[in-house]
A and B are shown apart, each in its own frame.
Chain A
Amino acid sequence: MTQSVVVQVGQCGNQVGCRFWDLALREHAHVNKKGLYDEALSSFFRNVDTRKSDSRACGVGGRIQHLKARAVLVDMEEGVVNEILQGPLREVFDSTQLLTDVSGSGNNWAVGHMTYGSAYREQIVDKLRKAAEHCDCLQCFFLIHSMGGGTGSGLGTRVLSLLEEEFPEVCRIVTSIYPSAEDDVITSPYNSVLAMRELTEHADCVLPVENQSLVDIVNKIKQMSHSGKPGSVIKRDSAIISGRGGLSGPEKPFDAMNNIVANLLLNITSSARFEGSLNMDLNEIAMNLVPFPRLHYLVPSLTPLYTLADVSVPTRRLDQMFSDAFSKDHQLIRADPKHSLYLACALMVRGNVQVSDLRRNIERLKPSLPFVSWNQEGWKTGLCSVPPVGHSHSLLALANNTCVKPTFMELKERFTKLYRKKAHLHHYLHVEGMEQSFFSEAVDSLSSLIEEYHHLDATKRRLMPDAPRLPIAR
C-alpha cells in the first residue's frame, strides 16, 4: 500500500485541505469498525503513540493511538492555520508540519513565489522531507492551492518546482482552484497565468476547478432540496455538501464548495486505499490520461452530488449516474466536454457496481462522445468496492478534453486586458527577482498550450484515415 502526502498552500488550499481531512477521517471511521490502524488509513495518516518520548510511528496492524495527517500546511498569514489549530482537527497536525508567516502575500504572485519562496526554501524542503521519510512507499504528492491569490498561487507553484527537484520520481497531482470572472482580486489574471506556466511545466496532472462551477453546483443542490419534488428529498447529512457528522461544528460559507473538492480528492484515492475488482492506482492515472506531457489538465466531474431518499437502486439510477457525469452541470469547470474532443477519459466507480454495468454504460454513452481518432476507445476504468459515506455508489470522471481551451483562452484574455495597460505591473516588478520577461514567457506558454489543444480540436471534424500499416515482405 502506498502513501500520499497532501501539501496545502494558502488560504484556499488550507480551507479545502481542512475539509478533506475531516471527510477522510469520517470515511475511514465509517469503514474501519475495529479501530485498527490498517493499510487504508496508513495511506493518509500516521499512527503515533504520543506517550512515548520520541513519538515514533506505530506500524500497520496495531490499534489506533493517535492519527496524524500526512500533510504539510503552508500559509503566509496565520489566520486560517490558527483556526485549524484551534478547531477539532488540531490533534491531527503537529507543529512540525506547519509553516506560517504573518504578513501574507498581498495577492501578489511574485511575493509568494520569489520572496517567500527563497526565504523559506530550506524550511519547506525540510518539512517535505520529513513527511516523505515517514512514508514506507511514497507514491504521490497532492498539492492544493488557488490560482488567483498570492500565496497559493506563487508560493504554491514554488513548492511544486521544489517537489520536482527533490522528489522527481514521486507523482505530483495538483488541484488548482481557478478564480471566476467576477473575482474580487483584480490581479487574479496575472497570478493565474504566471502560475499556469509552472503547472504546465512541473506538474504531472492538474485538476482544474472553477469557483463559479462550485457555486452553481451548490446552488442547484440547495434548489433541489427546497423544490419538494416527491422522491427527491436530499439526505441531510450526505458527505457531498455537508460536513455534518464529521468533526467540525457549524458550517462556514465556503464549506459546501470546499466539500465538493475534498470529495474529489477522496474519490481519486479510493481505489488506491480500498480493494476492488479492478484496482486503479494513482500512477495509472497519469499513465493513461496524459498522452502528451504538457496536456495534463484533467476535467473532473463528480456524481452523484446528492443522495436521494430511496435507498433501493434500480439499474436506471445507476445509468443516470453515468449520464450525469458527462453533463455540463456536473463538471467542476465551466466547460462542455460533450461538444469538444476527448483525448482520454477515466471512470472511477465506487460501490456495488459490476463490470457489466460499467461496460453497458460505456457502450451507451460512447456514440455521443467525440474521441480523438487515435484513441477511439480511450477509456480507463476502475472499480472500488467501498462506496463513499452516505451513498451506495459514486462515480468520478476525469476527462482529458479540449474543452479546457475556452477556459484558458478566457484567462488569457483577462490577462491581456490588464497587461496591455500595464495595470498594477509595478507591484510585481518591485519584487526582487521578478522581471517583465516572466510575464511574457508565461503568456507565451499559455498561448502555445492553447495552440496544442487547438490542433487536436481541428482533427475533430476531419475523418482521419487509419495510418497505413507496416508492409511485410511476403
Chain B
Amino acid sequence: MSVVTVQLGQCGNQVGHELFDVVCADAQDGQRKAYSTASCERFFHQTTHGADLVARAVLVDMEPKVINQSISRAAKSGRWRYGETSHFSQKQGSGNNWANGYCVHGPRHRDMVEELVRREVERCDRLAGLMAMMSVAGGTGSGVGTYVTQCLRDIYPSTFILNHLTWPYGTGEVIVQNYNSVLTLAHLYKLSDAILVHENDTVHRICSQLLNIKHISFGDVNRVIAHQLGSVLQPALTADSHGVYSRNPLGELVSSLACHPEYKLLSVSTIPQMPSASIAYSTFSWPGLLKHLRQMLISNTKMEEGIDWQVRPTAGSERTSSLTAPSFNTSLANLLILRGKDVYSAETGAFEDPALYTSWLSSQEAFNLWKSPVPFNKYEKSATVVSNSQALLRPLDNIVGKAWNMFASRAYIHQYVKFGISEEDFLDSFTSLEQVISSYSQLC
C-alpha cells in the first residue's frame, strides 16, 4: 500500500527530497526482491514506459526557489524523480507569518493543492495514508501546512494522516518561531492522527558528535532526519502482517502508539549513527544495540552519546513531575523496529518491562515490535524506537513558555492580527497546549 507525501514549505521540501533519496537508494541497494518491491510500491509509482520511479509526492511552497531545486536535484540523481506536474508554488512567500499562511495563502490555493493530492491518491492502488512534512517555525510549512492538513482531513476522513514536524533550533532561526509553533501544534493536535517530531538541536548534535561533521550544513541535518524517518517507514514485518511486509504501515504505527487523543507526540531515536566511512569497520551485536537504545529511551537521551546510565525505572508511586527534575522518561507506548542481520535472534524482553510504561496499558499492549531481515541504509544492524513518551515534554514546555512570555508583552501580535488571527485564537492555542503539557507531565 502506498503513502502519499505532501511536502510543505522550504523545510518540508528539503527534508522530503532527502527522504525519497534515502528510501530509493536503500530499496535499490541489491536488496531482496520482496523488500525492494514493497518499498518502491510504497513511495514511488512507475511510469508505463521505462523504469522511471516517480515519487508519490506533492510539493507545495509559496515561493519557487526550493521546489525548483528539489525537482532538479532529484532528476539529476538519475534514480528517481518528482512528477512534472506534482508541484505548486507562488511567487511570494508567507513571510514567516502563520496567519498569512493559514488565513490567506491556504484558502486562496486550496483547490489547486487538493487537486494535486487527489491526482496522486488516485494513482495509488491502495492508499495506506498521507504524510505531511513541514517545519513549525516559518510561515508556509506551519500555516499553509496546518490549513492543508485540515482540508485533507475533511476530504479523506478515514485515511491515516501522519504529520512529520521539524522543530527549529532553540536559539532562534526565526524570531516568531514560538508563536508559529504554538499555533501549528494546537491546531494539528485536533486534526492529525500522530505527530512525529524531529528537533534541529538534537539532529545537529548527532551530526557533530556522532557523525563527526565539522561544518554542518542543513543538508547534513536533513539527511539524518531522512535516515531516521526512512528506518521507520521502510517495509517491515509486523505482528499483524503474517509473514509478509506490512501493507498498512501508517495504520499500524498510529494504532500502536497514538491510542489516546490527548497523547499524539512521537519521538524517534535510531542507533547506530556513525560516519559512513566507519560503518564497514564496526561490528554490532543486538544485545549491545538494544541495551543502549533502551537506556536512551528511559533517560531521554536522543543520541548514543552522553547516555545517563544512572537513570533507572522506578515504581510508579515514586515518580516525580518530570518538568522539575530530570528523571525517568515514562512511556505510554513504544514501537521498536529492528532491521538487519540475525534480526530474529534479537532479545527484546527488556523493552517489555512494565516499569517503563504507565499503568493504563499492559506492557504487552504498550510495546510493539517490527522486524526486517534486510539491512537498512548500509548499516548491517540498526534499531529504531518510535516513542509516545515524555521525551518531547521539556522542549514543548520551553516553546510554550517562551511564546507565552512574548505574548504577555503583545510583541508582534499586530502582524498576526493584520491577517486574521486574533488574541483569542492565540489564547485558545495556548490553552490547548497547556493541556497537552499537563497530560504528559502526569504520565506515571
Contact = CB atoms under 8 A, between A and B. Distances in A.
A292 B414 CA distance: 7
A284 B65 CA distance: 16
Contacts of B63: 1-2, 279, 281
A277 B217 contact: yes
A467 B412 contact: no
Nearest to B14: A277
B409 interface: yes
A469 B217 contact: no
Interface stretch (B93-101, B286-294, B334-342): B93-101
Interface in B185-222: 204, 207-208, 213-219, 221
A355 interface: yes
A232 interface: no
Contacts of A420: none
A1 B170 CA distance: 30
Nearest to A171: B95
B65 A279 contact: yes
Contacts of B76: none
B215 A356 contact: yes
A69 B105 CA distance: 30
A373 interface: yes
Given A363-B171, A378-B175, A355 B406 contact: no
Contacts, number: 134
A359 to B, nearest CB: 7
B31 interface: no
Contact of A356 (B65, B172, B208, B405): B208
B28 to A, nearest CB: 27
Contact of B174 (A293, A359, A363, A380): A380
A466 interface: yes
Contacts of B97: 283, 287
A379 B93 CA distance: 19
A85 to B, nearest CB: 32
B434 A377 contact: no
A381 B434 contact: no
Interface in A321-374: 343-344, 354-357, 359, 362-363, 366, 373-374
Contact of A291 (B92, B213, B412): B412
B204 A356 contact: yes
B431 A470 contact: yes
Interface string A255-266: 000000000000
Nearest to B414: A293
A377 B92 contact: no
The contact size tier of chain A is 35 or more
B435 interface: yes
Interface in B116-165: 139
Contact of B96 (A288, A291, A466): A288
A460 to B, nearest CB: 14
A279 B174 contact: no
Given A1-B64, A287-B415, A359 B95 contact: no
A125 B10 CA distance: 36
Interface string A288-307: 11111100000000000000
Contacts of B221: 355
A282 to B, nearest CB: 8
Given A288-B96, A377-B402, A359 B10 contact: no
B171 A284 contact: no
A278 B412 contact: no
B172 A275 contact: no
Contacts of B442: 474
A380 B174 CA distance: 5
Given A2-B92, A293-B414, A469-B401, A380 B175 contact: yes
Interface-centre pick from B65, B69, B90 (highest chain A CB count, 10 A)? B65
B430 interface: yes
B434 A469 contact: yes
Given A374-B408, A378-B175, A469-B401, A281 B95 contact: yes
A310 B235 CA distance: 53
Contacts of B169: 359
Given A293-B414, A344-B175, A375-B175, A467 B408 contact: yes
A466 B401 contact: yes
A466 B405 CA distance: 6
A293 B217 CA distance: 35
B88 interface: no
B318 interface: no
A273 to B, nearest CB: 10
B217 A291 contact: no
Contact of A278 (B95, B173, B414): B173
A136 interface: yes
B54 interface: no
Given A355-B217, A356-B204, A366-B171, A467 B411 contact: no
Nearest to B64: A1
Nearest to A352: B215
A281 B93 contact: yes
A284 B92 contact: no
Contacts of B174: 284, 288, 380
A284 B217 contact: no
A458 interface: no
Given A354-B216, A356-B216, A287 B10 contact: no
Given A275-B69, A354-B216, A362 B171 contact: yes
A379 B175 contact: yes
Nearest to A358: B173
B46 interface: no
B34 to A, nearest CB: 38
A100 to B, nearest CB: 33
A472 B437 CA distance: 10
B176 A288 contact: yes
A2 B216 CA distance: 30
A366 B400 CA distance: 22
Nearest to B403: A374
Contacts of B69: 275
Nearest to B62: A281
A74 B137 CA distance: 41
A139 interface: yes
A425 interface: no
Nearest to B90: A137
Contacts of B435: 472
Contacts of B173: 278, 379-381
Interface string A133-170: 00011010000000000000000000000000000000
A284 B96 contact: yes
B430 A286 contact: no
Interface in B395-431: 400-402, 404-409, 411-412, 414-415, 427, 430-431
Interface string B57-75: 0000001111001000000
A472 to B, nearest CB: 5
B33 interface: no
A347 B171 CA distance: 13
A469 B96 contact: no
A275 B68 CA distance: 10
Contacts of A363: 171
A136 to B, nearest CB: 6
Contact of A284 (B95, B208, B404, B406): B95
Nearest to A459: B409
Given A275-B69, A278-B218, A291 B438 contact: no
Given A281-B93, A287-B176, A379-B175, 4 more contacts: A137-B91, A279-B66, A291-B411, A467-B404
13 contacts: A2-B63, A2-B91, A277-B217, A278-B218, A281-B63, A287-B176, A288-B176, A292-B411, A355-B218, A374-B409, A378-B175, A380-B172, A467-B405
Interface of B: 10, 63-66, 69, 90-93, 95-97, 139, 169-176, 204, 207-208, 213-219, 221, 400-402, 404-409, 411-412, 414-415, 427, 430-431, 434-435, 438, 442
Query: Which A-B residue pairs are the 5 nearest by beta carbons?
Result: A283-B95, A467-B408, A291-B411, A137-B91, A356-B216
